[in-house]
Amino acid sequence: MRFIWFSKLTLMTILAMTLPVFAGGHERQLTEFDAPGAGTAGGQGTFVIYINNVGEIVGFYVDGSNTDHGFIRAPEGWFTSFDAPGAVATFAILTNDDGLVTGYFLDASTVFHGFLRAPDGKIATVDIPGAGTAAGQGTFEFGINQDGATAAYFIDTNNVSHSYLRSRDGRITTYDVPGAGTGPGQGTIGLSINDRGEITGAYVDGSSVNHGFLRSRDGRITTFDGPGAGTGPGQGTAPTPGGALNSEGAITGSVIDGKGVNHGFLRAPDGCIITFEAPGAGTGAGQGTIPEQINARGQITGQYLDGNGVNHAFLRAPDGSFITYEAPGAGTGAGQGTIADSINEEGASDGFFIDASGVMRGYLRRE
């Protein structure tokens, strides 16, 4: 799949199909949709990333020419597509309840730039001082809270990542987690911010191992590792981009063990960390349980990869019980299936599925 960093991303009409889905003893309504203009070949289609508390959905789609465009889907099902100024590819990542959208785009020189799109459609480009200007370098906007503050990172001229906090009025505070590596592919990656101004993300140390961190509103940084986290390159503890940190201070994400298997983790506000497995999760390298977001109610959504490399969506309740589900039309081969990306405070969740032809299609699942 064509994701940049961790991510999984226009429009005017909607092809939607509403179907009842029975999963785990509960009937839910699942609506499938395609962004107008989305391509229909393998690797193309609609990538749904995030739903806010008023029901607006953001993401991106890949058209028939393999070009990426951002979109916003209104609660009524209407689409708005957009491209950042100067972009050859636009990726919408998150939106708050006021309709401020964050994301990043690639220019013609394959340099990344962050953006903030206002509800009236105006798009401001974000370039952090110190960000590199060569291919693969630049600025990435990720998490946003209700105050309009964003948590994100940039890649410098040495290909090292550094985090920053951007206030709604544009003030920038950069920071690095102690212990973060200073080599290419290493550094500090801010990914999620809550309404209290706390930030979580990952840092990659000098041995290329991942570790989690929590930054308080006053700048204090606490680092953490989940139980069983591996200590080799690409292993360790990785909070999820965007929605990993809820308003209560709970954090979710993945622990990658020494065999490269993913396990879900939940870090409570008091710092206690537990790991969990979705029923049916595979135990081979690259398989396992991958949480995506936690809401204020403590519900966690995400996906697991089974022993055949097929994706399946899950919802974990605060009591630890699971509901798993599949989108009708999801493929059943390796690299196909259903991927859950986010959940709002009302319990509505969204994501996308990959069909048997490798085409991505969006869905909305309501409580």
Residue ranges covered by each domain of the chain: 15-366
C-alpha span between 261 and 179 (Å, rounded)? 24
**What's the helix, strand, coil split of the chain in %, to 5?**
0, 50, 50
Kindly provide the b/e burial profile for residues 164-191, where b requires at least 16 CB atoms within 10 angstroms of the residue's own CB. Answer: bbbeeeeeeebbbbeebbeeeebbbbbb
Phi and psi, residue 243, nearest 5°? -115, 25
pLDDT number for residue 208: 98
Listed in sequence order, the residues at least 6 apart from 248 whose beta carbon sits closer than 8 Å to its beta carbon are 269, 296, 298
Short-list 334, 333, 336, 340, CA closest to 292: 340
The answer to whether 15 and 79 have CB atoms below 8 angstroms apart is: no
CA separation, residue 107 to residues 113, 143, 150, 161 (Å)? 8, 21, 22, 19
Those residues whose C-beta lies under 8 Å from the C-beta of residue 122, and which sit 6 or more positions away, are none
Q: Is 81 in contact with 10 (CB distance < 8 Å)?
A: yes
Specify the pLDDT at position 28: 61
Name the helix (H) or strand (E) containing 251.
Answer: strand 251-256
C-alpha distance across the termini of the chain, in Å:
29
Q: What is the largest CA-CA distance in the chain?
A: 53
Domain 15-366, CATH: 2.130.10.10
Cα(360)–Cα(86) distance, integer angstroms: 26
Cβ atoms 290, 304 nearer than 8 A: yes
Residues ≥6 apart with Cβ < 8 Å to 170 = none
240 DSSP 8-state letter = P
Tell me the pLDDT of the chain (367 aa) as tens digits.
Answer: 233 333 332 222 222 222 333 334 344 689 999 999 999 999 999 999 999 999 999 999 999 999 999 999 999 999 999 999 999 999 999 999 999 999 999 999 999 999 999 999 999 999 999 999 999 999 999 999 999 999 999 999 999 999 999 998 899 999 999 999 999 999 999 999 999 999 999 999 999 999 999 999 999 999 999 999 999 999 999 999 888 999 999 999 999 999 999 999 999 999 999 999 999 999 999 999 999 999 999 999 999 999 999 999 999 999 999 999 999 999 999 999 999 999 999 999 999 999 999 999 999 998 7
pLDDT of residue 29: 87
